[in-house]
Structure 1
């Protein structure tokens, strides 16, 4: 057994663990919490098959939450405002060194969070629009 397999396993564990942890934090903060938890579980399940049983239930909830996030213009506007707020806070944190954790390390992570929120918002909107455009299957007689 080569060195590559244990290194890959540890890297997957660390990356998946970080994604799950950040996702859990974003469940209570503005951001794509369930989608990050799902991404973390997928990474972890690639190396730890026992975790595969958690992927499908979280996937269903994450997709439902993504669809709900673009269910109304008010929700879309709220998400856009949250993304803009994150990016503005990132600029402020980057420029004002006297703030707690002030500097561009915290500021850039806030800006990145805003960009991720916008990306997921666009993805969710397109997904819902594509679903609505699909013809309904004919009812069985």
Structure 2
């Protein structure tokens, strides 16, 4: 029996789909790193999709995931940061409504408005998840940051 057919290498259709989908998410994430939106989250999503089709891309997932988790933890590290992060989400949603409704604004219309509203909602959702994660880690007695435990 030929065992070469049973390798874990994805098929052509899966590689093409993962390449196109992951590439689009990655490019959109990079753009949103400088524009208002969940850029790091989309970069991570793009890398995860790419890693499904191209196992060599997996080496890039872990560093981005660690940075995304660290940023999420930092956003809820203090009450002042939480207020600022929640305010940013509310401002994004309000700006989205304004850009959608008010005619004549640069790049105005429903695409920009929806993008800003979605970004604000994603930000607020991520804040809730981050807060719960950090709180459960503190209740368990461990530090929320990704530090290695020292041996005693």
Q: Confirm or deny that 1:42 pairs with 2:51.
A: no
Q: What secondary structure sits across from 2:34 in the alignment? A: coil
1:55-74, aligned counterparts within 5 Å? 55-74=61-80
Structure 1 runs (4+) deviating above 6 angstroms are: none
Q: Is the 8 A contact 1:30 1:82 kept in 2?
A: no
Aligned length: 135
CA contact (8 A) 2:99 2:105 kept: yes
Q: Which runs of 5+ in 2 are unaligned?
A: 1-10, 143-149
SS in 1 for 2:72: helix
TM-score (norm 1): 0.84
User: CA 1:60–1:71 in structure 2 vs 1: closer, same or farther (change >3 Å)?
Assistant: same
Q: Does 1:119 align with 2:125?
A: yes
Give the Cα separation in 1 of the matches to 2:109 and 2:122.
20
Cα distance in 2 between the residues matched to 1:122 and 1:8: 34
> Taking structure 1 as reference, are residues 95 and 56 closer, same or farther at Cα in structure 2, changes over 3 Å only?
same
CA RMSD of aligned residues (A): 1.9
- More deviation in 127-136 or 107-116? 127-136
- Residue 38 (structure 2) pairs with residue 32 (structure 1): yes
Correspondence for 1:18:
24
Q: Judging changes above 3 Å, is the alpha-carbon distance between structure 1 residues 71 and 30 closer, same or farther for their aligned structure 2 residues? A: farther
Which blocks of at least 5 consecutive residues in structure 1 are unaligned? none
2:29–2:40: 8 Å Cα contact kept in structure 1?
A: yes
| TM-score scaled by length of structure 2 | 0.78
Query: Contact (CA 8 Å) 2:101, 2:109: kept in 1 or not?
Result: yes
SS at 1:27's partner residue?
helix
In structure 2, what is the Cα distance between the partners aligned to 1:46 and 1:32?
22
From 78, 85, 91, the equivalent of 2:91 is: 85
